[in-house]
A and B are shown apart, each in its own frame.
Chain A
Amino acid sequence: MSLPADILPLEVIDKTIDQPVWIILQSNREFTGKLVGFDDFVNVIIEDAKEWIVNEEHSELVMEHNGRMLLSGNNIVMLVPGGKKDV
């Protein structure tokens, strides 16, 4: 790589630790919660996660989780630091 990019994606995720995060999967499923950590594969650990299924117009809350959750990085497409805005 000729020039290092100013903002590295994994650094952004690293800075989101201990903060709310919104995680979007390949399917219509999404998670919000506090980011606890992540690994090389971007398997993610979130705390007090809310699990959503997003339809045309609205997000349906599937489940609320207490404690920590290990979310497989396999299906994660996007991570949004700061959490979900419209909830």
Chain B
Amino acid sequence: MSEIKQDKQPKLQPQGQQQQKKKFESPKREAILDLAKYKDCQVRVKLMGGRLVVGVLKGYDQLMNLVLDETIEYMKDTNDEVSKDKTRSLGFTVIRGNILASISPMEGSEIIYMQTSD
């Protein structure tokens, strides 16, 4: 699947194929965000499927699998909306990187309460 079609590369020399491939693949491996600076900080993680969890970041890997401690999940209510008062404590958890939608530190963000007009 991840094979890169190289036949459309006119400048490519035959023996350079291997190197070229390496060059193509390497940017993927490098995370654009270094999670090290969030270590032991509270982070807010959104997951595919609409789950929202907050926890203290304890570890991670290149695939963005996370280890969180003191994890709290904000549960969806009947309207399928995440509410701030329906929570459950999960404790020490591993979050799968492949379903991670967003991650941000709690510090440096604030909750804005919206007023809906009637």
Contact = CB atoms under 8 A, between A and B. Distances in A.
Is chain B a partner of chain A in the same complex? yes
Interface of A: 1-3, 5-10, 12-13, 24-27, 42, 56, 73, 75-82, 85
Interface string B55-93: 000111110011100010001011000000010011111
Interface residues of B, number: 33
A2 B59 contact: no
B67 A82 contact: no
B78 A56 contact: yes
Contact of B96 (A2, A6, A78, A80): A78
B94 A78 contact: yes
B58 A78 contact: no
Interface in B27-73: 31, 34-36, 39, 47-49, 51, 53, 58-62, 65-67, 71
A64 to B, nearest CB: 22
B12 interface: no
B47 A26 contact: yes
Contacts of B103: none
19 contacts: A1-B62, A2-B36, A5-B36, A5-B39, A8-B59, A8-B61, A9-B97, A10-B61, A13-B94, A25-B49, A26-B99, A56-B78, A77-B49, A77-B95, A77-B96, A78-B94, A79-B94, A81-B94, A82-B92
